[in-house]
Amino acid sequence: MKKIMEKVLNSVADQKADGDLIFSGSKSLKMSSQKGSISTYNVSSSQMLGIRVIKEGRVGISYTEAMDDESLKLLVKQALQNAEMNEPNEHETILDLKGQLTDEAIYPEPPVDISIKTARALSLEEGVKTLDPRVVAVPYNSYAESEYSSQYLSSRGRGTSYQDKSYSITSSALMDDKGKKSSYYDFHIAHTFEALQWNKVIETSLLHARNLLDEKSLPTGKYNVRFSEDSLKSLLECFSNFYSAKSAMDKLNPWASSLGELVMSKDLTIIDEPAHPGAFRATRFDAEGVEATSLTLVENGTLKAFIHNSMTASFYKTKTTGHAYRSPSTSLQVSGTHFVVKGKNKKPMPSKYLEVIQMDGLYSGANRVTGDFSVGVKGYVWEHGQKVMTFGGITLSGNLIEILKNVEVVGENLMASTDQSFFAVPLLFHGLSVAGTG
Amino acid sequence: MQLLKSNVAQDIITHGLSCGAHFVEVFVERTHNESMVFKNSRAEDTQSGTIFGIGIRLIHGEQALYGYTNSTDRDELLRITSLLGARIGKSGTSQTVNFETLNYPKIPVLQDKEVDAKYKLSFLKNIDLGLRSDKKVSQVALNFIKKKQLIEVYNSDGLFATEERPYIRLIHQVIMKDGTHQSEASYGPGAIGGWEFMETLNTREICEMLLKQASNTLYAPACPAGKMPVVIDNGFGGVIFHEACGHLLETTSVEKKASVFWDKLGEQIAHTALSAVDDGTISGAWGSLSIDDEGMATQKTNLIENGVLKRFISDRLGEVKTGHKRTGSGRRQSYKFAPASRMRNTYIEKGPYELEQLLSSVQDGLYARKMGGGSVDPSTGQFNFSVQEAYLIKNGKITTPVKGATLIGTGPDIMKKISMVGQNLELMAGTCGSVSGSIPTTVGQPPIKVDEILVGGEA
């Protein structure tokens, strides 16, 4: 592939342009079961090559899934044509970096026969059904494995190579108890087949589905709320534009002019940590071939930095933080790696609070410019350290900018999201609006 | 020119059948995508690209085996077929299938008219200027999308079908700011067709509508929370039916009993005021198709008549698993997905009332002028939707604008509470994400009145 990429870049140079290429390839296997037998079985292999050209300050993007000579010529031609349409952008350049960076993970394990994989995949349905007669279906269950590789090459001489492999499993429980219905699903991801936690996804799905059979609404009012790690990750990721220099450039970041200001509780520090020890996979470099380093975004409540690529860095006259993101078919963006929310001045848990375990409709119910959000939620009511009730059928509303100002730290240990990409100490948010009964 | 030589498709199908499959299908796709993001009053991101690939599906009983690749190489395609066939673990008869080209009624599609790129740019510049006529506008983003999808379907029934589908869409987004107050408005018309669709848009009216929406909600207080009657206006209001009922009628959910409506065929599942259809045959509509991605001619499917469930939305595998006949609804985002039963243009049919009659029947409630997106859990029917533009109703009149409203409930419950249906039916383009990827779908409805629904907002 590298030879093909070099050939394409030579033709870009012939047109007196700069450029960079991203190649991505993947292979995957996925199966799921229904009524005790494998009902779907998918295998795939695919590849895509994407180019970004910069000529006379104008940037153009093009991509292809065909790698024959004609398609590659068309790739360059279209990118140059697209560049002609765009206004010159003095801030977007191909970085003058050289040398090769490699991050090709290998996870040694003995080969696993397909019959074993199939038997375990079947257990994701069977395991849930046999443990509770009220389970009427396991609508979401799957075993998947995928291999992913990518290569980057720029006309300035930077190359990167990335390779990874993952296994994932999903299970769910749809329960019916005398007409009352509930459902819940869980998943797990690992680098080896052996590390998959089959029982965990089965038991977690069942545990919450059983509890949700008893869900009740709550009286409309203001509540203190603790989000599960997955829910908190979803909430903070939905508003990740708050930390994005690209969103600030585009006037879509409400904190655009808040650098150096107190934006949240002084008890909170937020770091983007590419190589966090608990992360599923460390990030070594970004999509421009810049080595990734840890970046403190918020320190003791004060906004210290935005995440940058080279374009946003040039615009704001600063240095890239190594957070460029680009797939073969997209333009240059920014993206965080692993958010780590640290806290201090731990407070005791209040006598009563809500624990949110599931949020629905977050992305449609959130305004990323204003910070307003309103979502359907389910979870548990805690009183005096005991779960006393399961709630559902309510909406939770608030404004992230406001609720971050009086959040309390209620635990010391960092907790990880299920996908091991987000880490936070337990936090308690005050005064969120619940719409329910009454 | 065909994307895949028919003798290669023939070899794949013969091989699949010899592996014991009851049915074999080859789906070939080439799609050319173009897009331009016009932001900060200039073209910022112009790109294009082509995706190409082949999906192979073997069905054995209720088991579906699917594989895909970018390669047209016969040996690679046969290797994937072998890989899938090995899962069946039986051998079948080796039979050669002769293809017959499907003749089907082509839905009237707008012409795929093309214009010069610089003309497109000037078109977008004019909209940007129109939207920036209000000094409080802090950002305008226009996302122009155009694609041409060419598909070929071969199957072991001897079918060969092909269709070319041109798509065009322009998503407008405007951000308004005044001190600490901010608001947002968006509008995304789209069609199956070419540039001539853009020429039908009244850009002056669109700008006025977006500026009015953003202005009205700029200083709006938070919506009060609680149960109340809600009048939902036409157009994108139809997302409520799409999410709360439409997904629950897809055999993808029905076959797993993961739909609360799976055993309700012929039963009263909605108020008698409500009739709804899923229609793939509307001329130029964003969710229309002449054939589905399984090569079946599309159709108009009456889902609910006067509140009674009449039909499910079904694909080939859905028919095998549930017995509900196919409705030309087997759809997928691309060759990377096996087809599944999916909606096309889904809407509530018009009723007898004027909007004013719906409003005047409400003492205290909410008028949802424009809905945002939403989601649903088909297994329990629980849904929630955001409202982009909302006003309080007092004594039958629209009064204060409010922001941050969401609607939450369950499909079976809300369908019975839609008691009044208006006359002014409008359809709106959208993108629906589900098991077979993101596909163009249309939602729609006339204004409707829901007698009671839980509104999320400020407590």
pLDDT in tens, A130-154: 999 999 999 999 999 999 999 999 9
Rounded Cα gap, residues B212 and A92, in angstroms: 36
Helix (H) or strand (E) holding B130, with range, is helix B117-131
Question: How close is the nearest chain A Cα to the Cα of B307, in Å?
Answer: 22
List, for residues A285-299, the tens digit of each pLDDT value. Answer: 999 999 999 999 999
Chains A and B form CB pairs within 8 A to the count of 234
Rounded Cα gap, residues B341 and B329, in angstroms: 5
Rounded Cα gap, residues B401 and B394, in angstroms: 12
The total of other beta-carbon atoms located within 10 Å of residue B118's CB is 10
Do the chains contact at A394 and B70, CB–CB below 8 Å?
no
Which of B53, B338, B386 is facing A374, going by the closest CB pair? Answer: B386
Enumerate residues 344 to 403 of chain A having a beta carbon within 8 A of any beta carbon in chain B: 360-361, 363-367, 369-370, 372, 374-376, 392-397
Does the structure show a pLDDT above 90 at A218? yes
**Tokens 């549930």 label which residue?**
B322
Does the structure show a pLDDT above 80 at B92? no
Q: Of A47-51, A373-377, B75-79, give the lowest mean pLDDT range.
A: A373-377
B272 touches chain A (CB under 8 A): no
Rounded Cα gap, residues B141 and B231, in angstroms: 30
The CA-atom distances, in angstroms, between B309 and each of A78, B247, B256, B272, B378 are: 50, 14, 19, 11, 16
Q: What is the mean pLDDT of chain A?
A: 95
DSSP assigned state of B307: T
Structure tokens at B80: 């994937």
Which of B66, B117, B380 is facing A183, going by the closest CB pair? Answer: B380
More confident residue, B110 or A437: A437
Residues 6+ apart with CB under 8 A from B433: none
Which of B36, B139, B458 is facing A433, going by the closest CB pair? Answer: B458
Question: How close is the nearest chain A Cα to the Cα of B438, in Å?
Answer: 16
pTM of the model: 0.90
List, for residues A74-117, the tens digit of each pLDDT value. Answer: 999 999 999 999 999 999 999 999 999 999 988 988 999 999 99
DSSP assigned state of B97: P
The pLDDT of residue B116: 86
DSSP track, B310-366: ---B--HHHHHHH-PPP-S-EE-SSTTS--EE--SEEEEPP-SB-HHHHHHT-SEEE
CA nearest neighbour of B367 among B349, B343, B392, B342: B392
DSSP assigned state of B302: E
Which of B42, B408, B458 is facing A393, going by the closest CB pair? Answer: B408
Question: How close is the nearest chain B Cα to the Cα of A289, in Å?
Answer: 21
**Which chain B residues are Cβ-neighbours of A364 within 8 angstroms?**
372-375, 385-386
Question: How close is the nearest chain A Cα to the Cα of B302, in Å?
Answer: 27
Rounded Cα gap, residues B102 and A329, in angstroms: 34
Given a contact cutoff of 8 angstroms between Cβ atoms, the answer to whether A286 and A101 are in contact is no
Given a contact cutoff of 8 angstroms between Cβ atoms, the answer to whether B269 and B248 are in contact is no
Q: What is the 3-state secondary structure (H, E, C) of chain A?
A: CHHHHHHHHHHHHHCCCEEEEEEEEEEEEEEEEECCEEEEEEEEEEEEEEEEEEECCEEEEEEECCCCHHHHHHHHHHHHHHHHHCCCCCCCCCCCCCEEEEEECCCCCCCCCHHHHHHHHHHHHHHHHHHCCCEEECCCCEEEEEEEEEEEEECCCEEEEEEEEEEEEEEEEEEEECCEEEEEEEEEEECCCCCCCHHHHHHHHHHHHHHHCCCECCECEEEEEEECHHHHHHHHHHCHHHHEHHHHHCCCCCCCCCCCCECCCCCEEEEECCCCCCCCCCCCECCCCCECCCEEEEECCEECCCECCHHHHHHCCCCCCCCEECCCCCCCEECCCCEEEEECCCCCCCCEEEEEEEEECCCCCECCCCCEEEEEEEEEEEECCEEEEEEEEEEEEEEHHHHHHHCEECCCCCEECCCCCEEECCEEEEEEEEECEC
**Which chain A residues are Cβ-neighbours of B458 within 8 angstroms?**
397, 433
**Which chain A residues are Cβ-neighbours of B49 within 8 angstroms?**
50, 61-64, 78, 329
Do the chains contact at B46 and A220, CB–CB below 8 Å?
no
List, for residues B7-52, the tens digit of each pLDDT value. Answer: 999 999 999 999 999 999 999 999 999 999 999 999 999 999 999 9
B216 touches chain A (CB under 8 A): no
The pLDDT of residue B101: 95
Rounded Cα gap, residues A79 and B295, in angstroms: 34
Which of B121, B258, B372 is facing A85, going by the closest CB pair? Answer: B121
The values of phi and psi at residue A11, to 5°, are: -70, -30
Tell me what the mean pLDDT of segment A27-51 comes to.
93
B82 touches chain A (CB under 8 A): no
**Which chain A residues are Cβ-neighbours of B40 within 8 angstroms?**
250
Given a contact cutoff of 8 angstroms between Cβ atoms, the answer to whether B417 and B452 are in contact is yes
**Tokens 């694909």 label which residue?**
B315
Helix (H) or strand (E) holding B200, with range, is helix B195-200
DSSP track, B211-265: HHHHHHHHTPPBPBPEEEEEEE-SGGGGHHHHHHTGGGGBHHHHTTT-STTTT-T
Torsion of CA A115, A121, A124, A125, to 10 degrees: -90
Given a contact cutoff of 8 angstroms between Cβ atoms, the answer to whether B275 and B262 are in contact is no
Residue type present at position A106: I
B153 touches chain A (CB under 8 A): no
Counted residue by residue, chain A has a size of: 438
Given a contact cutoff of 8 angstroms between Cβ atoms, the answer to whether B152 and B162 are in contact is yes
The pLDDT of residue B383: 85
The pLDDT of residue B110: 65
Given a contact cutoff of 8 angstroms between Cβ atoms, the answer to whether B229 and B419 are in contact is no
A36 touches chain B (CB under 8 A): no
- Name the β-bridge partners of B65: A41, B58
Tell me what the mean pLDDT of segment A249-261 comes to.
94
Given a contact cutoff of 8 angstroms between Cβ atoms, the answer to whether B250 and A139 are in contact is no
Q: How confident is the model at residue A360 (pLDDT cuts 50, 70, 90)?
A: confident
Mutate to test the interface with A, among B3, B31, B47 (most CBs of A within 10 A): B47
Say what angle helices A69-85 and B117-131 make with each other, to 10 degrees: 40
B67 touches chain A (CB under 8 A): yes
Structure tokens at A291: 């080595």
More confident residue, B185 or B258: B185
Q: In what order do the strands lie in the sheet with B426-434?
A: B308-309, B300-305, B276-279, B345-348, B437-445, B426-434
Count Cβ atoms within 10 A of the Cβ of residue A68 and give its class: 0-12 exposed, 13-18 middle, 19 or more buried.
exposed
CA nearest neighbour of A185 among B256, B158, B183, B211: B256
**Which chain A residues are Cβ-neighbours of B404 within 8 angstroms?**
367, 372, 374, 397
Which of A34, A82, A365 is facing B256, going by the closest CB pair? Answer: A34
Q: ipTM of the assembly?
A: 0.87
Which of A37, A38, A395 is facing B384, going by the closest CB pair? Answer: A395
Rounded Cα gap, residues B297 and A324, in angstroms: 45
B73 touches chain A (CB under 8 A): no
Given a contact cutoff of 8 angstroms between Cβ atoms, the answer to whether A297 and A373 are in contact is no
CA atoms within 13 A on the CB side of A184: 23
Counted residue by residue, chain B has a size of: 459
**Tokens 């349409």 label which residue?**
A85
The values of phi and psi at residue A378, to 5°, are: -135, 155
**Which chain A residues are Cβ-neighbours of B260 within 8 angstroms?**
181
- 3 state DSSP class of B62: coil
Task: Tell me which chain B residue has its CA closest to the CA of residue A247.
Answer: B139
CA A235 to chain centre: 11
The pLDDT of residue B459: 73
Rounded Cα gap, residues A258 and B65, in angstroms: 53
Q: How confident is the model at residue A438 (pLDDT cuts 50, 70, 90)?
A: low
Does the structure show a pLDDT above 80 at B214? yes
Does the structure show a pLDDT above 80 at A363? no
- Name the β-bridge partners of B403: B222
Rounded Cα gap, residues B192 and B168, in angstroms: 6
List, for residues B333-360, the tens digit of each pLDDT value. Answer: 999 999 999 999 999 999 999 999 999 9
